[in-house]
Structure formats: structure tokens, C-alpha cells
């Protein structure tokens, strides 16, 4: 039997896993689930060190949080840790806790099945858990603590480049596939413990003065300004009923010193915005708050504007201010955007002349143009010019747009994509008719001679068989997906990671 001294002096066994090449170790750990990977990292400090960079890149380069006390506190803790420097893309979800009386039995049962709860009645008899979550979130907004907590966290995120606001969860969680999706930090734990009813992307609940998209967008802008953080990109991804309205772009005088520096630093702005409501005459003469906002984005290189699904409101005033080239003596001046290279427009309806005006204005710098589920109308001038035409063409506005786009002399596109185009029949002025290029509903060109490609495409323009409406109420403008682009900002491969329970 060995003595105590022999045991103490014994050489510890050698860890052969640490001797493996790093690429082999990464291939091994790639098949582990999140919880298993966490346990494996805890086995040895040497292994933890070897896996640190890949672990940080996968789980901390992009993370999603919600506006709640526990989620924002986790963001603060991460920003103060060694993982804070790895966070380059911050996502904010639109989750809202609903008041307890909104939790009906069928909803509770659905949640119980989803999260595999054993005792459904256990939730029904503890409504106070849900009440606490709801009350804490109300207090967070009303007290201004949401702004303070988010500002504190942002101050320590030295490498933050993009901020994304989203009302949907990514379903590309490959490590724990296929049962899981990426959710905001802590939301799964809250649902398990309290069975809370959560709204993701709906209109405002009782404690909010505006819809949740407006409120979070305003909160993020002011928190970035107060933290003196200037990200390169802001994206708003909305796939449900709650979109940012024009009111969210208001810049009162007390906000300008805080928010304007953030806007000026932006190189990318992707937004989903509600249309302006009103009669055709009201919309024609409407002015937008967005105009003053975008006027300050002098370094913008990538602009995507996605309208609401369906035909809710009009984005005509927004297009008009973008394409305007006439100075207003009483206004702030013309929107310039001298560095704009990429322009994407989707889910909007307007005269073809307005789309052309926007393209022509930014033509000197524009390299990429995308139109997705855009509906075109004939302008009054175009209708008058065709008053004596012998044939009544159904695709006058679309064909006019394509012909005039070719005539813009300094438009040198390297990327052109058009998908699911439509035209409003001027005879009934109601139903948008789907337009195709031959047998294709979407076309894309990447190269240096887009005019030759487009010129050959124009003769193929015609109505789609059956004249089906081009808009689908549950779709959203994600041209990087629909045009099969390589760079998809909505479903990034390096998506965020939740707490260990998720």
C-alpha cells in the first residue's frame, strides 16, 4: 500500500485532450449541445483556454436581450466581463409580459406543452409570479431605469458595431437543432417559472404610450447617445404587426445633442416603417418626421426601407422627401446622403416617377439597387401621355420605370435585384396585378453591364398568369433571403445565445 507521501508526490495523469490539434478539438465540440459544451469547458482550465475564442465568437459576438430587469442586468454583467469585448452585434427583442388576467387556460396549457411542464394547474394557482414579471417591466419603463441600465451596459461595449431591434426569433440555432430557436436572454426561464404570457411584436400593452417598436427604438437611440457609443448600423426587423411609425423619428431640441451624433455615425440603416394614414390628398401633401432624421445621416452607405405588409398606409411622403431636389427656403435643406451605395425598397406602393426620382438623385454613388414587392402606379402625367394610345396596356407604369431607369446617365449599378413587382390597375385603382419578367417573378444581376441585361429584360415584362396579387400578408422584405444573397443580416450564423436553460 502506498504511503501518503507517495500519493502526494505522484505525477498527475496527463490530459491527452489538450494535446489534440485545435481544429480537431473544435470538430469534436461542434457536435455537443450547449449544456454539454459548458460542462466540457469546466473540466480543465487548459481546455477552457483553448476553446475560449471559438466559444466567445459563437455565443457572445451576437446576443439578444429584452427590456426587463433580469435581461438588462445580464447585459450589464456581460459588458463588465471579459466577454464584453467580443460583443459586436446587440439584439433587442420586443417581448412584453402581459398582465395576469390575459392568461387564459388554453394559453397556459399551450405554454405547458411547449416547455414540458408537468403540472398545468401549478401555473393556474400562482398568478402572482406573472404579476411580478409584469409589474417589474412596467416599473422599469415608468421609472426610467431601462434607459439607465441600457446606457450603463453600452458604455462598456467597446467593439459594438451593430444594433438590431426585432419582433421575431431566429430559428437557426444549429447546435441545439431542431427544437430550439434563439430567444432573448432569460425569457425561457421566465416562461418556465411563471408560465407568463409574452407578446412578441404586438401593439402596445396598457402601460405604454406608444407601440413597443417606437418605444424601444427611441430608448436605444437615447441610450447610445448618452453612452457615447456610435454603432455603424441599426436594423429594425419586423415580421409581425408592430412596425416603427413616423413618430419614432422625432428629434425634439432637447434630444438633438444626444441623438444626432449617433445618426451621423451610421453607415447602415434598415427599417420597417408604417405608412402614413389619411386620404389620398392628405398623403400627397404630408410631411414626415423621418425627413429630419435621415437628413443627419450624412455617412449612410446602406439604406433599406421596408413598408408594412398589406396595404396599410402609404410611404409616398417618405419617397417624396428622399427624391426631392428642390430646396425649401423654410426647411432644413435637401437630403444628400453623399456616400449612399446600396438602396433597398420593399412593400410600398407609389407612382413609378417617385421610385425613379430616388434612383436618379443618388445615382452618382449608387452601386446596388433592390426592389422587393413594390407596387407601381401610373402618374397623372403618364396617363395623360397615353390618352390617345390605341391599346390599353396593363403594365404601363412598370415598363415606364424600366425604360426610364436605363436613361439615367450616371447610374452605374453592380447589383440589381427586382422581385414580385406589381402594378395597380388604373381602371379600378384597387387590385395590384402581379408582374413577371417572362416566367420569372424575380430577377437579379451582378456585374458591370447591368444596362445590357436590363435592356434585354424589358420586352419580357407582362402580367403573371391569373393576375394574382403580389402581396402576401405574412411576408416581409428580406431581399438577402429572397434573392439568395450571401450576407443575411436577419439570420446570422453567429446568432446570440440565451441563458443555460434555453
Cα–Cα distance for residue pair 85/160, rounded to 1 Å: 8
- Residue 478: closest CA among 238, 285, 240: 238
pLDDT score for 494: 40
Split the chain (502 residues) into runs of 10 and give each run's mean pLDDT.
53 71 86 86 86 89 94 96 95 85 51 46 56 89 96 96 90 70 83 65 48 92 97 91 88 96 98 80 79 96 88 80 84 89 94 94 97 88 67 79 95 96 76 89 95 94 72 45 43 40 40
On whether the CB atoms of residues 141 and 67 are closer than 8 A, the answer is yes
Confidence (pLDDT) at 387? 59
The whole-number pLDDT of residue 347 equals 92
The predicted pLDDT at position 28 comes to 84
Q: Distance (Å, rounded) from C-alpha 359 to C-alpha 499?
A: 45
Spatial distance between the Cα atoms of 494 and 61, rounded to a whole number of angstroms: 7
Predicted confidence at residue 188, as pLDDT, reads 80
Put simply, whether the predicted model's pTM sits higher than 0.75 gets the answer yes
Residue 314's pLDDT is 83
Predicted local confidence at residue 117, as pLDDT? 45
Characterize the bridge pairing of strands 432-437 and 461-463. antiparallel
- Note the pLDDT of residue 481: 45
Residue 32: which of 60, 46, 45, 51 has the closest Cα? Answer: 51
For 447-479, the DSSP string reads SS-HHHHHHHHGGGEEEPGGG--S--TT----H
Rounded distance, CA 180 to CA 493, Å? 15
Q: What is the DSSP string of 43-105?
A: T-HHHHHHHHHHHHHHHHSEEEE-SSHHHHHHHHHHHHSTTGGG--EEEEE-EEEPPGGG--H
pLDDT attached to residue 433: 87
Amino acid at each position: 500500500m502506498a504511503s501518503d507521501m507517495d500519493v502526494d508526490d505522484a505525477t498527475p495523469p496527463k490530459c491527452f485532450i489538450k494535446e489534440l490539434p485545435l481544429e480537431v478539438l473544435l470538430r469534436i465540440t461542434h457536435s455537443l449541445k450547449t449544456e454539454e459544451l459548458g460542462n466540457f469547458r469546466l473540466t480543465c482550465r487548459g481546455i477552457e483556454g483553448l476553446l475560449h475564442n471559438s466559444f466567445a465568437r459563437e455565443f457572445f459576438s451576437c446576443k439578444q436581450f429584452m427590456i426587463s430587469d433580469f435581461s438588462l442586468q445580464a447585459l450589464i454583467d456581460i459588458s463588465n466581463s471579459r466577454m464584453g469585448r467580443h460583443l459586436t452585434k446587440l439584439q433587442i427583442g420586443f417581448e412584453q409580459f402581459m398582465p395576469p388576467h390575459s392568461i387564459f387556460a388554453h394559453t397556459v396549457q399551450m405554454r405547458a406543452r411547449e416547455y414540458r411542464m408537468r403540472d398545468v394547474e401549478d401555473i393556474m394557482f400562482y398568478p402572482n409570479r406573472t404579476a411580478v414579471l409584469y409589474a417589474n417591466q412596467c416599473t422599469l419603463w415608468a421609472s426610467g431605469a431601462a434607459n439607465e441600465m441600457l446606457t450603463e451596459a453600452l458604455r462598456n461595449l467597446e467593439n459594438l458595431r451593430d444594433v438590431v431591434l426585432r419582433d421575431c426569433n431566429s430559428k437557426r440555432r444549429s447546435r441545439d437543432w431542431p427544437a430550439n430557436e434563439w430567444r432573448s436572454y432569460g425569457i425561457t426561464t421566465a416562461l418556465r417559472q411563471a408560465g407568463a404570457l409574452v407578446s412578441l411584436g404586438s401593439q402596445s400593452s396598457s402601460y405604454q404610450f406608444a407601440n413597443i417598436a417606437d418605444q424601444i427604438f427611441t430608448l436605444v437611440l437615447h441610450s447610445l447617445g448618452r453612452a457615447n457609443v456610435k454603432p455603424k448600423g441599426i436594423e429594425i426587423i419586423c415580421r409581425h404587426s408592430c412596425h416603427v411609425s413616423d413618430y419614432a423619428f422625432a428629434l425634439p431640441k432637447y434630444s438633438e445633442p444626444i441623438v444626432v451624433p449617433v445618426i451621423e455615425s451610421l453607415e447602415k440603416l434598415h427599417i420597417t416603417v408604417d405608412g402614413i394614414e389619411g386620404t389620398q390628398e392628405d398623403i400627397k401633401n404630408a410631411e414626415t418626421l423621418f425627413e429630419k432624421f435621415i437628413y443627419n445621416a450624412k455617412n449612410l452607405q446602406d439604406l433599406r426601407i421596408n413598408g408594412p405588409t398589406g396595404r396599410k398606409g402609404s410611404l409616398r411622403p417618405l419617397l417624396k422627401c428622399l427624391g426631392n431636389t428642390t430646396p425649401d427656403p423654410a426647411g432644413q435643406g435637401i437630403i444628400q446622403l453623399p456616400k449612399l451605395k446600396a438602396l433597398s425598397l420593399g412593400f410600398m406602393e407609389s407612382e413609378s416617377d417617385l421610385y425613379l426620382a430616388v434612383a436618379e438623385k443618388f445615382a452618382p454613388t449608387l452601386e446596388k439597387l433592390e426592389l422587393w414587392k413594390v407596387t407601381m402606379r401610373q402618374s397623372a402625367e403618364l396617363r395623360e401621355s397615353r390618352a390617345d394610345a390605341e391599346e390599353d396596356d396593363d403594365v404601363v407604369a412598370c415598363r415606364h420605370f424600366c425604360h426610364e431607369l436605363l436613361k439615367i446617365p450616371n447610374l452605374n449599378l453592380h447589383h440589381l435585384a427586382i422581385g414580385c413587382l406589381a402594378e395597380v390597375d388604373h381602371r379600378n385603382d384597387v387590385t395590384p396585378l402581379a408582374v413577371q419578367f417572362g416566367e420569372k417573378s424575380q430577377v437579379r444581376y451582378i456585374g458591370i453591364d447591368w444596362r445590357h441585361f436590363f435592356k434585354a429584360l424589358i420586352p419580357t415584362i407582362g402580367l403573371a398568369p391569373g393576375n394574382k396579387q403580389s402581396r402576401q400578408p405574412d411576408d416581409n422584405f428580406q431581399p438577402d433571403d429572397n434573392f439568395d444573397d450571401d450576407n443575411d443580416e436577419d439570420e446570422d450564423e453567429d446568432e446570440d445565445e440565451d441563458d443555460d436553460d434555453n
